[in-house]
Amino acid sequence: MGLRDTWCLILKEGGDWLGALSDVIFPRICQVCGRALVKGEEVMCLDCMVGMPRTNFHISSSATPVTRMTAEAKIIRMACMFFYSKKSGYAAMLKKSKYNGHPEIDRTLGKRFATELMPSGFFDGVDLIVPVPMFRWKKLWRGFNQAEEIARGVSMVTGIPIAYNLEAVRPHSTQTKKSATERRSLSGSYFGVYAPDELKDKHILLVDDIVTTGGTVAACSQALRDAVPSVRISLLSLAHTAYT
């Protein structure tokens, strides 16, 4: 093989060759079980994808979290990818994204979940995607907001634009460290709405990483409906805490 042919081969197969090399230097592992990923797998292995504890909320309108969010936050449609329990590998995956600086985990999961939801009509009529905002100092400290990364993944698949009209006007501490009563009482005044006219008569998809009691979602929904009475809101999250 001549030099020219070798170069052609490198250029043609370059992506795979470099990909394989980077897999040796930075091994790609399943973020749930730690096994090495094979070609075609992203973030998690096929076994962990199949074994994911799904909520299926988007097709079970009578599930308690769905009826609660419909009543408390006036949510029209709701989809959560999987159940969150603190000691599971799936929880570890979300923690790794958050605390070890891996926004690509959120983006990839957002893309994958949106791809699965597309045929169900879940996104029909949705005009804008609005990520649950993070207080600016917290975002500066962490470098990214997981909800925004998930929103990016969903937007890539659906083509629905992202609107950053919701703002965290003051910090709210981590929900999991509070009692259920404290979490429930999170008031709408934590969130403000920029340019409310842009959201007039729109159906927006609120996006968050984990829904626990729904306090944050209810507060966002309240702030949006206070500023824009004609707005309609649906919800998408990667995780929802297990419920009884």
- Residue 38 half-sphere exposure toward CB, CA atoms < 13 A: 3
Whose CA is closest to 108, among 146, 80, 69?
146
Q: How far apart are CA 163 and CA 204, in angstroms?
A: 9
**Binder of Zn ion out of 30, 134, 154, 168 (CB under 5 A):** 30
Residues 33-92 touching Zn ion, rule: CB under 5 A, are: 33, 45, 48
The residue among 30 and 228 lying less far from Zn ion, judged by its C-beta, is 30
**How many C-beta atoms surround the C-beta of residue 5 within 10 A?**
9
Amino acid at 106: D
Stretch that binds Zn ion, among 30-38, 110-118, 175-183, 227-235 (CB under 5 A): 30-38
Site string for Zn ion, 132-171 (x = CB under 5 A): ----------------------------------------
Tell me whether residue 33 or residue 156 sits nearer to Zn ion (CB atom): 33
Positive or negative, the CA dihedral 143, 112, 57, 45 is negative
Query: How many Cβ atoms sit within 10 Å of the Cβ of residue 134?
Result: 20
**What is the size of the binding site for Zn ion (CB under 5 A)?**
5
Query: Of 30 and 78, which has the nearer Cβ to Zn ion?
Result: 30
Nearer to Zn ion, 108 or 212 (CB): 108
Which residues contact Zn ion by CB under 5 A? 30, 32-33, 45, 48
